[in-house]
Amino acid sequence: MPSCTVNHPLVAHKLSLLRDISTNSKDFRDLIRELTMYLTYEATRDWELEKTSVRTWEGRDVEAFRAKGIDPTIVPIFRAGIGMQEGFLQVIPTATISYIGFYRDEETLLPQMYYAKLASRITERKVYILDPMLATGGTTSAVCSYLKKHGCTDIKVLCILAAPEGLAKMDEDHPDVSILPAAIDSHLNEKGYIIPGLGDAGDRLFGTK
Ligand code: PRP
Ligand code: URA
Ligand code: MG
């Protein structure tokens, strides 16, 4: 039985629709976007606030709060990570976008990099990696290594489904990086697919095969 790590009935409901093979690409994209909004709320719980004041309707100044000098960037991993971009930006519209392209070789299951364009001043930013699937963990681990090589120190991963195997690899390779999956599934099959999972996230998002 997969466990849902974001404790909310709507997350469980939307995850069930995602797993359903009869869900079409348009609905699949909507569900990934909606789930990413929940993940973004959870992932930003640690943001600090600073005090300010606002003038209210009565003309009085009252204490108020604003997020403290936070300048995040998202790293949607091509291709399936693109599906999570809009949900994050609906919650944090000012985030910059650092694209990284990886695909997983279907024979070796090893991640192959083909593109990267990072935000300016990325070393000063909170970094949120977006990829719906953490399977063997090879892709996410390689992306973390790449970002660290470029000076990033504050990295979080938002994903829809994670396999225990991938979480263990991340714990070993990058214990400083926190992972926020909407659900943790049972295991990987012999082809490295998450079980029960949802199939190939990129293909289901974009209607490819
Ligand atoms: C998928 C997924 C992850 C990766 C996860 O990408 O979106 O990036 O596999 O697998 P791993 O944890 O074993 O590395 P895929 O190779 O299917 O590319 P795509 O997004 O272009 O479909
Ligand atoms: N990538 C996917 O899209 N799905 C899986 O189950 C594993 C890797
Ligand atoms: Mg794919």
- Phi-psi group of 109: left, alpha or beta (phi > 0 → left; psi -120 to 50 → alpha; rest → beta): left
The dihedral sign for the CA sequence 162, 168, 173, 176: positive
Which atom of ligand 1 is found nearest the CA of 163?
A: 12
Decide if 157 contacts 184 (C-beta within 8 A): no
CATH class of 3-206: alpha beta
CB 200 less than 6 A from any atom of ligand 2: yes
Protein residue with least CA distance to atom 3, ligand 2: 200
- Ligand 3 is an ion; residues with CB less than 5 A from it: 200, 202
Q: pTM of the entire structure?
A: 0.95
In a structure prediction context, what are the per-residue pLDDT tens digits for the chain, which is 209 residues long?
A: 466 677 889 999 999 999 999 999 999 999 999 999 999 999 999 999 999 999 999 999 999 999 887 789 999 999 999 999 999 999 999 999 999 999 888 889 899 999 999 999 999 999 999 999 999 999 999 999 999 999 999 999 999 999 999 999 999 999 999 999 999 999 999 999 999 999 999 999 999 98
**Residue numbers annotated as active site:** 104, 108, 200, 203
